[in-house]
Structure 1
Amino acid sequence: MLLDDSVKEFLFECQIRQYTKKTVKGYRNSLEFFVNYLKQIHHLTDIEQVKEYHIKAFFAYQLKRKRKETYLNGLIKVFRAYWKYLEQENYISDNPMLKVSWMKEPKTIIKTFSDAEVKRMLNVYPETDYMNMRNKAIMAMLFDTGIRNYELCCLPTDVIKDNYITIYGKGKKERQVGKSPYLSKILMKYERVKKYYFEFKNIKYNNYFLSRTGRPLTNEAVERIVKIAGDTAKISDTIRC
């Protein structure tokens, strides 16, 4: 079976399993990157030609290019799922990923924000209009609940309750997080401003946070909101969400 055909079939299987578009896109990019390497460096085109040596050589090459261990472990996760699928479908007789180990990742200390830094970042966005009120509500929710960027972008309106928020994470896993009095107050103001802002506009989406034009937010949009808050409040350059 050709490598290109096997990748297409595996990605189709991921869609059938209802993986998120972001996950499928990540799988596609990782596998196409790997297949191009196999073609260009080892001149391989068929899945049965790929051996343990070729995969280890790929990772050795990436280490020489100074790729981080966390990134490489992400690739290993994708490759394991891909080769496991091929094995289950009886497309291969031996799984070359079985003897490919995880990379040892260095232990890093994640710097947290002080109360003063959190306050400065929240104060970056005044409660003057829809965009600023929305951005302040986003910052407050990130700090208060620990919600992930992608989860925040997909958050529907009807999961915001009086005392808690229901969040659907990876694999449609559901969890509930409580709302602090401060977050409840900010969201109350945001909902009031949002109602008036979109009152005479035809909104097709039920996302809690919407763009200026009424569309769902992207991960990149939320990252910009956080970065602007960090830069304006003079917080560390490494701030991210």
Structure 2
Amino acid sequence: MEIQQGIKEFLIEIEVRKYTPRTIRGYRNNLNLFLRFCTEHEIAAIENVTLATVKQFTRAMTASKKKGTYINGILKGVKSFLQYCYEEGYGAFNTKCCFPWCKEERAVITAFTPQQVKTMFQNCRGSDFKAIRDRTILTMLIDTGIRCLELCSIRPSDIHEDYIIIRGKNHKQRVVPITPILRKNMVKYEAVKESYFRYKNTDDTYFLSFHGRALTVSAVEVLMKKYGSGIEGIRVSPHTCRHFFAQQQIKMGTDLYTISRPLGHENIQITQTYLNSLRDRDVIEIAKSKSVLMSLG
């Protein structure tokens, strides 16, 4: 089978597995890069793709000055595709036995400062539907650490007395707690939403647009940039709220396992990157408050 045809079939397969449109788009873009490389090296059939082919592809990506994390993101898609081909009997090789990953740089995750978070809330004052909705969105992103797509996918039936059911990556469900400050904002939002859409049909999602449609990821990204106007030196995005949540939890002394649960991390090694990204001054302050001898009384 030709590589191009195999990619088409694989993209249909992950669509059947109910991968999100954004994830499918990422796989398509990454596999097109691999297809272009194979075409340039006159490798048309999947049967002719070997471990050496992937190594050459990785070397070419490295030579183009791409970062290790970026290259491994592409290789993740290539690995999934080649493993699918192997299991379907199209050739290629068993990637579970061996696969060439690129060495990654130490991840340095930057998060908002407390003052920057306060600035966003100050920019989001008001008593109309939009202001109350947006303030609830900011509160939920910052107080739970959920992803933007997860926030947009919440349905009213997912909301419970003291927790929210979150549908994460690969359709895995988890729960995040509703803190008192989040509950206060949700009560205000639910009241203004009920009044605003009293005589209108709406989508079955918790956060709605002006027209009663499900709020989109791009819409949340736009409102983040609006309320983050004036903040410099950091990317103002929903995902940066997630970073802020994780690092603040660490500073408050929460253990990595407990932090990993609401974040939806499969293992604490992913959560560990937030700890590694703390500045030396942050680590010193945490250590000072955790004196071994002082704890003995």
Q: Same fold (TM over 0.5)?
A: yes
Alignment partner of 1:145 is 2:144: yes
Partner residue of 1:92?
Answer: 91
Query: After the TM superposition, which residues 110-129 of structure 1 pair with which residues of structure 2 at under 5 Å, given as runs?
Result: 110-129=109-128
Partner residue of 2:17?
Answer: 17
Partner residue of 1:190?
Answer: 189
Q: 1:94 to 1:108 in 2, by over 3 A?
A: closer
Q: What is the rounded CA distance, in whole Å, between the counterparts of 1:69 and 1:105 in structure 2?
A: 4
Q: 1:93 to 1:68 in 2, by over 3 A?
A: closer
Partner residue of 1:220?
Answer: 218
SS at match of 2:228: helix
Cα deviation, 1:60-110, whole Å, max 9, x if unaligned, reads: 222233222222111111111111111111111634785432222222332
Aligned-pair distance for 1:193? Answer: 1.3
Is the CA contact 1:51–1:96 (under 8 Å) kept in the aligned structure 2? no
Give the aligned residue type for 2:220. V
Aligned-pair distance for 1:48? Answer: 1.4
Structure 2 residue runs without a partner (length 5+): 240-297
Query: What is the CA RMSD across the aligned residues, in angstroms?
Result: 2.0
Alignment partner of 1:108 is 2:107: yes
Give the aligned residue type for 2:234. D
Q: What is the rounded CA distance, in whole Å, between the counterparts of 1:111 and 1:26 in structure 2?
A: 24
Is the CA contact 1:79–1:97 (under 8 Å) kept in the aligned structure 2? no
Is the CA contact 1:76–1:102 (under 8 Å) kept in the aligned structure 2? yes
Q: 1:134 to 1:13 in 2, by over 3 A?
A: same
Partner residue of 1:32?
Answer: 32
Aligned-pair distance for 1:155? Answer: 1.2
Give the aligned residue type for 2:158. V
Alignment partner of 1:199 is 2:198: yes
Q: What is the rounded CA distance, in whole Å, between the counterparts of 1:93 and 1:8 in structure 2?
A: 16
Partner residue of 1:44?
Answer: 43
Query: After the TM superposition, which residues 140-179 of structure 1 pair with which residues of structure 2 at under 5 Å, given as runs?
Result: 140-179=139-178
Aligned-pair distance for 1:58? Answer: 2.0
Q: What is the rounded CA distance, in whole Å, between the counterparts of 2:155 and 2:90 in structure 1?
A: 41
- How many pairs does the alignment contain? 238
Q: 1:62 to 1:97 in 2, by over 3 A?
A: farther
Q: What is the rounded CA distance, in whole Å, between the counterparts of 1:96 and 1:183 in structure 2?
A: 45
Aligned-pair distance for 1:220? Answer: 2.0
Partner residue of 1:65?
Answer: 64
Q: What is the rounded CA distance, in whole Å, between the counterparts of 1:84 and 1:4 in structure 2?
A: 15
Is the CA contact 1:153–1:217 (under 8 Å) kept in the aligned structure 2? yes
Give the aligned residue type for 2:8. K
Partner residue of 1:133?
Answer: 132
SS at match of 1:45: coil
Cα deviation, 1:147-180, whole Å, max 9, x if unaligned, reads: 1111011111211122111111112211111111
Of 190-199 and 45-54, more deviation after overlay is shown by: 45-54
Aligned-pair distance for 1:222? Answer: 1.6
Q: 1:109 to 1:94 in 2, by over 3 A?
A: closer
Cα deviation, 1:15-71, whole Å, max 9, x if unaligned, reads: 2222222222222222122212321x1122211122333322222222233222222
Partner residue of 1:77?
Answer: 76
Give the aligned residue type for 1:102. W
Is the CA contact 1:157–1:208 (under 8 Å) kept in the aligned structure 2? yes
Partner residue of 2:234?
Answer: 237
Q: What is the rounded CA distance, in whole Å, between the counterparts of 2:96 and 2:35 in structure 1?
A: 15
> Alignment identity in percent?
37
Decide which of 203, 209, 212 is 2:207's aligned counterpart. Answer: 209
SS at match of 2:23: helix
Is the CA contact 1:117–1:235 (under 8 Å) kept in the aligned structure 2? no
Cα deviation, 1:115-147, whole Å, max 9, x if unaligned, reads: 333222122112332222211111100011001
SS at match of 1:161: coil
Q: What is the rounded CA distance, in whole Å, between the counterparts of 1:224 and 1:65 in structure 2?
A: 32
